[in-house]
Amino acid sequence: MAQPVAYLNGQWISAAEAAVSVNDLGFLLGATVAERLRTFGGKLFRLEQHLQRLERSLAIVGISLHQSMSELGEVATELARRNHALLAAGDDLNLSLFVTPGIAGANSPTVGMHTAPLPFGTWADEYDRGVPLVVSSVRHLPPDCLPPELKCRSRMHYYLADREA
């Protein structure tokens, strides 16, 4: 049976084998710029807008890529095409695109993309019944800590709020 693929540093690999070095600054410091997209009918939604935001975020953190945004868009489209073909009819994907500075001093950013099925079946009851609301004491970082236009992977406040709830 065919397995999902991922894209990491210019290579197509099995999603199960995708890994970032423990010495990567994205892992060590959480220095990761990210975009998350979804598909509708297998087609990526608002890909150009996501790539524009990615480009702005990369400029903010000073990461220069060896690929153009257009090339990343082509990779994302191909990844969605390959992995969407593995889904049941009517299912869709989310696609995560991330960039880290890579290993300190190497001047070689890590660029990765992977997908996961959107779990519509597990959400169906929540649409019918609703979900409980909890207001957490954990707050979002204020805008003077990180530029508000920076889309990064740091979501510790999400994690802590979910644990509190």
Per-chain mean pLDDT for the chain:
92
What is the Cβ-side half-sphere exposure of residue 126, based on CA atoms within 13 angstroms?
A: 8
Inform me whether the pLDDT recorded for 8 exceeds 80. Answer: yes
Number of structural domains in the chain:
1
Residue 133 is assigned to a structural domain of this protein? no
- CA dist., res. 156 & res. 158, Å (int): 5
Percent of the chain at pLDDT above 90?
67
Q: Which helix (H) or strand (E) holds 27?
A: helix 25-28
140 in a structural domain: no
Most confident of the following: 28-32, 98-102, 127-131: 98-102
When comparing pLDDT for 30 and 8, which is higher? Answer: 8
What is the arithmetic mean of pLDDT over 10-19?
A: 98
Measured CA to CA, the distance from residue 68 to residue 63 in angstroms comes to 13
DSSP-derived 3-state class of residue 105: coil
Q: Which domain holds residue 80?
A: 5-118
Q: pLDDT digits over 90-125, tens only?
A: 899 999 999 999 999 999 999 999 999 998 777 778
pTM, two decimals, is: 0.88
**What is the domain-level CATH number for residue 28?**
3.30.470.10
Residue pair 64/92 in contact (Cβ under 8 Å)? The answer is: no
